[in-house]
Amino acid sequence: MKRILIFLLFISLLQSGYAQIIRGIILDKSNDAKIGYATVYFDGTFVGTNSDQNGNFELDISKYNSMPLTISALGYNRITIADFEKNEPLVIYLTPKFFELKEVVINSKKYSKERVENLAIFRKVFLGDTENGRNCLIMNEKDISFSYDAAGDTLKAFAQKPLLIVNKKLGYTITCFLNKFEYCKQDKYFIYDGNSIFKKDSTGGIAQRQAFERRRRYAYIGSRMQFFRELWKKDIDDSGFRIINSFDELLSFNDVVKTKDDQKKFFSYNGPLIISYYRRGESSYVKFLKKEVFFDQNGYSDPSGILWKGQMSKLRVGDMLPYEYAGIYKLN
């Protein structure tokens, strides 16, 4: 019995040695009031927590310590922290969010018709016009408001509460914090800024879980997540991807990746690129918005650093996978 207790104590100490816990408090920037029940999380993962009623929180960041930390709270602007002191308590200030809506809510047949049309556009653009996207349900659509800019033919969507999305094909529930959504009807382009935290559907039997896994695998193959994971491992040639510049030249890992002293990797090239996934005959186009775009072994990449066109741009919220998804290969 004594040996068992010593062994269990050893295991506990070993596990705690790998954990990296951060602690902090979340405050209102305008008056230093404590913000309770804010969400502290890594975007696109299962990993997150909520602050208590006094604004305090703690979170194990050991698995994603290279990713930025996101903090969202009802009625406040989201904040993302890329570099922070992991050994000291964090003091995080959020600024109140104000919406300026041009939409006038009236009880009329015209308004009801316009809202139905706007919701249909929003679902198609936001969730994606794919099988996975079309099989997503936004459980709280009543929390979405719209405004329309006639001069720019642009539809804007706002949501003060996070959107709760059920992906019936991939078996996830996604809590999505919508920060910005604009869609130009004439030019067919859209701007989206948001953050998500996932929860896996654990209901159903073996057959349903196997169906989820088959669909997840299909969604993963040829995705941005797979591309950046393969790029990290220098397995681009073997995985089915090709990187081509505007002169139709095939590029290698060393042509497009810069590795810094601390082993951080950055996707970088002086000019646009074509990313071809030849196993499906699909092509995507990359325009760099930053000189260097950070990415890591989980498949995360700085979303503000690249403008995507082509196949990968068609994969929206309905085709998103959490960074915990192992894909074809086990993560390092």
Q: What is the pLDDT of residue 189?
A: 83
- Burial group, residue 97, by CB count within 10 angstroms (0-12, 13-18, 19+): middle
Where does the pLDDT of residue 3 fall: very low under 50, low under 70, confident under 90, or very high at 90 and above? low
- The per-residue pLDDT for range 132-151, each reduced to its tens digit, is 999 999 999 999 999 888 88
- The per-residue pLDDT for range 265-297, each reduced to its tens digit, is 999 999 999 999 988 889 999 999 999 999 999
| Between 40 and 235, the higher pLDDT residue | 40
Q: What is the pLDDT of residue 238?
A: 85
Contacts of 216 (CB under 8 A, 6+ apart): 170, 171, 321, 325
The DSSP call for residue 62 is: G
With tokens 């393969």, the residue in question is 230
Residue 15, pLDDT > 80, answer no
Among 9-13, 224-228, 251-255, name the one with the lowest average pLDDT.
9-13
Q: What is the pLDDT of residue 328?
A: 61
Question: In whole numbers, what is the pLDDT of the chain averaged over residues?
Answer: 88
Q: Is-above-0.75 flag for pTM?
A: yes
Residue 262, pLDDT > 90, answer no
The DSSP call for residue 171 is: T
- The per-residue pLDDT for range 52-103, each reduced to its tens digit, is 999 999 999 988 888 999 999 999 999 999 877 777 899 999 999 876 555 4
